[in-house]
Structure 1
C-alpha cells in the first residue's frame, strides 16, 4: 500500500466509560445455544466468557425512570443520555423559527467573514460595511471555542491556513496569518470542482451539448423542438411564437405552451411505489417533469409493440433494419457531426479483473472514507450516486459528489437518470469538466423517490429505455461506460440474464450485478448463483462484477473460484463495517485488529475529513456528522478473537458482549450516545443542544433516533 495508517502509538487514554446501551436479545438466551445454533439463527457466535450478563434489576440504586443517574465516576449513564438526546432530536421547529435562528447566526460575532478570518485585516473584505457577515475580529476571538488537540490539517500546504483565525487549530499555525500573504491559488489535492462560469450557464439553461445532441440525433432520440434558451432568444429578437400565446404543436403530436420545452417525462408508466428506504441510495430531489408525448418517445419507451411481440423479440427482428437506418442517418449528418462519433475500438478500456472495487456508497462513501479505503488497499473507487437532473441544474451539493482525491488513481463517478437526453448531456458535461476514468450509470437504485421518476431500478422494467440510455452515453465519450443493476424489479422475476448480451452490444464496458431484486431490498442473502449464470452468458468483451454480502477474504475467494467467468467483485457494506477488508483480501488473513488500531483508522478519517470539509467550526461539525453516520455500520463488527466461528457473516446480529478493553466495548455499542462519546475523543466536545439520528436504518437495528 502506498500510504500507511496513522502512526501506531500507545492506545488512547479513555475518560471514564459508562456502560454501553444494548438492546439485543437476553444474554441467557445466547448462553443456552451452541455456536452452530447461533449461526443458524444469524446471531454472531461470541465466546461465552465475553457475553454480557443480564442487567441487575434488583439494585435499588439504579432506576430506569431516573434520567439523572450517574456512575461512580460521575459520568451519566448512556441510557439516560440516550433518552435525553432522543427527546431533543424529536423536537420539531417551524420554518419561521429556523429562519429566525439563521438570521441570528448571521449576526453573531462567531459568523466571521472568511476573508477577514484568512487575512486578519478588517478592511480586506470587498463588501466593507455591506457584508452580511461579522467583521469584529476581537469579538470572534473572545467567543471562539477552545482549540482542538493536534495540528492544523493544512500545515503541509504552502502559505497560511485557508481558514485563518477561524481554524479550530489556529494555535498551531507556524507563522500566523499576515495580511496580504494569502495566495490566490491554494494547492489542493482534490479535483473536479464546479467552475463558477459553468454553474451560471447551467443555472440559465444556456449550456451547449453538441456531442450529446449529435448522438441523440443519430439514434433518432433528439426531440426537434425549441428549447427554453431558443425561445428566449426568439423573444429577444421579436419573433412571434403564437399570436394567441396558446399551446402550439411541435409537429409530433405533442402540445406545449410558450416557454415550455418538450420533455420525455411521463411517457412511460412508473412502477408502483413501495415503502422503505434503501441504505445505498441518495435521497435526491428530482424536480417534476412536464408532461409531453411524441411518437419518437412512445416508440422508445413502450414495453410492447403493436403486433404483440415482446421488446426483445421485436428488437431482434428489426436489428438489421435499424442498423441500415442508423447508417443512413450517419451519412446524412454533416461532417462536423460525423467526427463526434467515437468508434468502439477507440474506447479506453479498464481491466477490473482481480481489482478490489469499493462500491459507490451514499452518505458514508464520501471522499474521506474513500481515502481511508485506499490506504487500506482498495484499488478502484467510485463517487456517490449523483442525480443527472441536479447536476444539470448546477447544484453545488450534487457536484460535490464528483470530487476526486489525488490518491484515487482509478476513479469513476456514478450518475442516475431516467431518459437518454438527460444522461447523455450529463455524460458530456462530466467528460468536459471532470477528470474521471469511467462513468457508471445506476440502473439498480431501489429508493422510491428515484424509481417513481423512471430512474434507478425502474429502468429494469423498460429494456428499450435502457438501450437508449446506454447507447446515448457510450457514443459520445472515449471513457468506459459501466452499468450497475439488480437481478430484476420484482422478487422471483429475474431478467438480467436475458439482457446481459444486449448490455454489452449497446456499448457498456462492464456491468455490476447486485444479487438482489428491487423488491427484495436487503432482505435475504444475495443470489450469487444467479450472478454466476449471468456472467457465463455475457459476451467476452463485457466484464461482469458481482456484488452482495462480501465480508471477508473467504467470501472473495469463493466467488472467484466458483465462477472463473466473473471478472471481479464489488465490496459495499463489508467495507463500511470493516474497511480493512481490503487488507485482509490482499494479505489473505483474518485480521484480529485491536481497538486502538481501529481508533487510529478513525483518526485518519477525521484528518481527511477536516482537509475535505474544513478545519473551522462548520467543517469540524460536518466531519463529526459523517463520522457518526459511519458508526451506524462499524458497531456491527465483532472482533475475530471474540468469535467461536470465523469469519463473521454480513447478516449476523451481534449479541450484547464485553470487548477485551474499554474502548473495544464502547465501539460495540449500538447507542448513538456512545458514538458521540467516541467523536468527542477525536473532535472535542459537541456543541450545546447537539443531536444526531442516523440516516440509514435498513438493517436489523431499527432503533428510534438516538438509541
Structure 2
C-alpha cells in the first residue's frame, strides 16, 4: 500500500507506552501448554508461546468473598454513573439551541470569511457571532495540513478548521465547497427535502405500479384543506415530523422516531410478532394538468388552489382511476434491466455504523470491487431526514456502488426506490430482508419478512417494477433456528424481479453465534434459477476461505465480506494476491492515517468533524484489535470465530493495536487526531463481544 501523506501526524516512540519485553508464560497456566490443535478445537487462537502474556497472579487473600462483593459494587456504581439521564425531545431540542448560541458554535459564514457582518441573518442567526470568544476557547491546531488545502482551494470551514494555521486563503470558501461536492454525490437537495417535510412529494411511478399489483389499498384518499393558505395536502402515512396528523393516519403510520440512524443491538427485547396492519393510504396519481410546479428531479407537487370546487375534485379522482388499466405496461421485465455481473467480484457488505464512506474508501484502495452504503430506513428517507440520507453518500472512487434500504411494506419501499432513483446515482438497490436488530424486526422489516413470503413478494415486485435499476435482496437462512426456508423461496425471488440475492448463512435467532452454514448456502445456490445470481455471506477471513467457497459451489456467483473486512480490511488484497499478508504495525497505522484523512474530508475539519471522525475511528478499532498478526500464529490462517488470548506484539505499536481496552483505542486516536476533550469517554456500540474494560480501562 502506498504511503499516506504526512499531513496527519508523525508517531514517535514517546507516544507509545513502553511495554515489558515478551516473557515465557508461567507454568501455573495450564491452558498455555495445550497444543495448537487443542486450542483451535476450543476456538482459541493458537498464538506462539513466546508472545503470550503471563497469566494474572492468583489471589491468596482470605477475604476473597468480601473483595468480590466490593468489586461488584464498584462495577455496578460505575455502570450506573455511565447511564445518562433520559430527557424529552423538547428538552434535548432546547439544549441544542442553547448550545448553538455558545461560543463553541461560530456561525459558518463568519468562520469562512472572518467578517462578523458576513452573516445574512444578523441577530436572527441561531449560531454565535462572537468571533473573539470563539478564538479564545478554540483548542490549538492539530499537526499536519488541512485536508482541503489540495488544489489551492480555500477550506470550507475557514477559521473553525483545526488546521487553520496552514490555510493559504480564507477569503472565499466557494471553491472549497465545489471541491468537496465534486468527490461526493447523492446529497439531498433542499427543495426536495422541503417537499418531503410537507408531505407533498409525488410518487407517480410507484403509485402506478402499486395500483397495478393491487397493493395500493382502497381508493379512499382524504384531503385536508388549509383554509388560511388554501393549500391542498394529501393525508398520507408518511407525514413529516412535527406536523399534525389525523388519528386514523397516526394509527396506520410507522413510528419512525424509534428507527435509529445506525441500528444498535443494545435495545430491549420485544415481541417479534405483529398484527397485519391495514394497507397504507397512497397518494393519488394526478394528471399533469392538475399539477403546477415541477422539481428538478421530475417529482411534481400538488398545486395551491383555493378555488377548486367539488366538480374539479371529482375530476381529479377520475383522472387517478383512469390510470389503473395501462399501469401493467410500466413494469419492466427483469431481463430488460441493466444487470450487474457479481461473479467473483469482491463485495464489501453494507455494515452498520462502521461501513461509512471513509471506511469504504479504505477498502477500495485495498482491493474491494463492489461497495454498498449502510442500511437506511425507508420511512426516515421519505421524511427527508438528513442524517438518514447521509448514509446514501457515494464517493467518486466507488465505481460499482449500491445502497441498501429496509422497509416493512410495499408502498414505503416502492416510493423510496423511486425517490432514490431520481435523487441519487447508484448502480443497484439492495433490500434488506435479513436484519436481526430488534427495533427493525418489531416494525415488521428485516428478517421478520422471512415469516411473511407474500409481503416479500409484494415488496420485491413493487420495487423492481418502479425503477430500471437492478434490485437485489439480502436474507438470512430463516427467522427461527432449525427452520430454514430460503431454499423454498429461492426460485420465486428471481421471478418476483430480483436480479441477485445474498444469503447470510445464519438464522435471525442465531444472530452471529456459531459458524455460518455454507452447505445450506450452496444448496440454495443450486436450486436458484439461472437468471438469479446467488452470493454467500459469513465467516470469510482469508483467501483460503474465499477459494473454498467459490470452488465448492460453481453456481455461487460471489461472496460478500462483512466482519472480516472490519477486522482486517486488507483481506481484499490477500484474496487478489492469494497470500497471507503478515502486515506490520507501521502499515496498519498508515491505513488508520488514510481513514482519518478521508474522515476529515467527509465529516469536516472543524471541531465537530474531528470528533465525529474520532468516534467512528474508535468504533472501528473495537474490531481491528481482534486481528492477530500472521507471524504470531502457530496455525494459519486465523479464523473469524477464534478468541484471541492476551499477547505481546513484535513491537510496542503492534502490542498497542492488539489491546482490547477502550483506553488504548483512545490513545491511538490521540496519536492521529490530538487530545480528546475533557470528560471524554467511549464504549463500543456493538455487543458481539464482551469487553471487561470497555469504560476506558
Tell me the TM-score normalised to structure 2 length.
Answer: 0.82
Q: For the residues of structure 2 that align with 1:499 and 1:421, how far apart are their CA atoms?
A: 22
Range 504-513 or range 338-347, more displaced: 338-347
Aligned to 1:417: 407
Does residue 109 in structure 1 map to residue 103 in structure 2?
Answer: yes
Aligned to 2:150: 156
- 1:239-638 to 2 correspondence within 5 Å? 260-261=248-249, 293=278, 333=323, 337=327, 340-638=330-628
Aligned to 2:301: none
C-alpha distance after superposition, 1:31-75 (max 9, x if no partner) = 221100000000000000000013457999xxxx99xxxxxxxxx
CA deviation after TM superposition for structure 1 residue 457, in Å: 0.5
- 1:195-234 to 2 correspondence within 5 Å? 195-227=189-221, 230-232=223-225
- Whether the aligned pair in 2 keeps the contact of 1:209 and 1:428 (CA below 8 Å) is yes
Q: For the residues of structure 1 that align with 2:18 and 2:81, how far apart are their CA atoms?
A: 22
- Whether the aligned pair in 2 keeps the contact of 1:381 and 1:411 (CA below 8 Å) is yes
Cα 1:192/1:218, change in 2 over 3 Å: same
Q: For the residues of structure 1 that align with 2:541 and 2:692, how far apart are their CA atoms?
A: 21
Aligned to 2:29: 28
CA deviation after TM superposition for structure 1 residue 178, in Å: 1.9
- Pairwise CA RMSD: 3.6
Q: For the residues of structure 1 that align with 2:281 and 2:518, how far apart are their CA atoms?
A: 38
- Whether the aligned pair in 1 keeps the contact of 2:334 and 2:498 (CA below 8 Å) is no
- Which residue, out of 57, 65, 87, partners 1:95? 87
Q: For the residues of structure 2 that align with 1:98 and 1:196, how far apart are their CA atoms?
A: 24
Cα 1:355/1:182, change in 2 over 3 Å: closer
Cα 1:84/1:110, change in 2 over 3 Å: farther
- Whether the aligned pair in 2 keeps the contact of 1:379 and 1:410 (CA below 8 Å) is yes
Q: For the residues of structure 1 that align with 2:529 and 2:19, how far apart are their CA atoms?
A: 56
- Whether the aligned pair in 2 keeps the contact of 1:620 and 1:683 (CA below 8 Å) is yes
- Whether the aligned pair in 2 keeps the contact of 1:281 and 1:445 (CA below 8 Å) is no
Structure 2: which 5+ residue stretches go unaligned?
235-244, 255-261, 269-273, 283-320
Tell me the TM-score normalised to structure 1 length.
Answer: 0.80
Cα 1:467/1:536, change in 2 over 3 Å: same
Q: For the residues of structure 1 that align with 2:330 and 2:14, how far apart are their CA atoms?
A: 62
- Whether the aligned pair in 1 keeps the contact of 2:457 and 2:496 (CA below 8 Å) is yes
Higher relative contact order (CA 8 A, sep 6+): 1
Cα 1:475/1:348, change in 2 over 3 Å: same
- Whether the aligned pair in 2 keeps the contact of 1:265 and 1:292 (CA below 8 Å) is no
Q: For the residues of structure 1 that align with 2:545 and 2:123, how far apart are their CA atoms?
A: 63
Cα 1:556/1:337, change in 2 over 3 Å: same
- Whether the aligned pair in 2 keeps the contact of 1:281 and 1:446 (CA below 8 Å) is no
Cα 1:83/1:133, change in 2 over 3 Å: farther
Q: For the residues of structure 2 that align with 1:59 and 1:10, how far apart are their CA atoms?
A: 45
Structure 1: which 5+ residue stretches go unaligned?
67-78, 242-256, 267-276, 284-288, 298-330
2:150 aligned counterpart, secondary structure:
coil
CA deviation after TM superposition for structure 1 residue 224, in Å: 3.6
Cα 1:207/1:397, change in 2 over 3 Å: same
CA deviation after TM superposition for structure 1 residue 106, in Å: 2.8
Cα 1:89/1:362, change in 2 over 3 Å: farther
Does residue 173 in structure 1 map to residue 155 in structure 2?
Answer: no
Q: For the residues of structure 2 that align with 1:435 and 1:545, how far apart are their CA atoms?
A: 23
Aligned to 1:307: none
Aligned to 1:6: 4
